[in-house]
Amino acid sequence: MLHAVENIKQSSAASWQWLLRVRNALPGQPNFVFFPHAGATPLSISRIAAVLPGTVGVAVAVLPRGGDLDDGTPPLRATDAAQCVARGLMATAPSRLVLVGNSYGALLAYETAWCLTHDGAPIERLIVSGFRSPALPLADIPLHRLPAAQLRAELSARFGTPSDAGAAEGELAEHALRADLQACDTYRHRHDERLPVPLDVLHLTNDWSVSMTELQAWQSVTRFPMRLTPCASGHFPWTGNPEAIARTLLGLVKTDQRGHVIEQCSQNSNTAG
């Protein structure tokens, strides 16, 4: 069973809608659940959702943003947020469940996969990008402690600027951004076993925030052979190159079902952060 949530106000954990379902999958088609980057809202998946076929299911994890954006309390621990999202998924019980996470969302998707696994829910695949293996320790200074101006400058230098409407601007978004960054900065890997879920890692070729070694280290957290797929994009691929990412996602899940060769993002595709 899912463990009790420790670090979120009980009212938020109980009443918040942690999962937004954009559309249901047709029978036999995959259900993609997206986990966005730090500070984002559900609008961050609008472009990738638009280019994916209407036959596949699309949902997005919805974390409380707090401040003046909503009346929720942002979770300060990735494991707490994962438990709440997993609870929402368990309530809907979709078939052919594929978790897709980018940046902080990769960590959140990984922990959600563990919550679902502990509760016996089948997961077809976990697909991550833009984040080091969760088994690796934090190598940098805690970003969430930086003053506002320095924080924005540091994030822009490392990751670029997201071009999606899901990243709210200014003081309204800072509360949520710092909460998500704190969840990243304070995370410690606690799993003694490897995740019994197939894992794909997307190598975003124009994203310099994570090294190839850090991406390859994801192999240490899965029981299955990890697949590393290059994609021509910066740190925010769902808005920077959604068509190529959509082709890759469909190729990866098609391999699972029919044994087809993995489709990779074209290195000649338009690139963006």
Predicted local confidence at residue 179, as pLDDT: 87
Sheet of 125-129, strands arranged across: 19-23, 57-61, 31-35, 97-102, 125-129, 199-204, 227-231
| 3-state SS assignment for residue 62 | coil
pLDDT tens, residue by residue, 179-198: 889 898 999 999 999 999 99
pLDDT tens, residue by residue, 118-169: 999 999 999 999 999 999 987 677 776 677 777 776 777 677 777 654 444 5
Q: Average pLDDT of the chain?
A: 82
Mean pLDDT of 247-256: 86
Predicted local confidence at residue 164, as pLDDT: 59
Mean pLDDT of 227-234: 95
254 vs 260, higher pLDDT: 254
Q: For residue 69, what are its two tokens?
A: 């954006």
Q: Has residue 11 got a pLDDT over 60?
A: no
CATH class of 10-258: alpha beta
d(CA 241, CA 270): 7
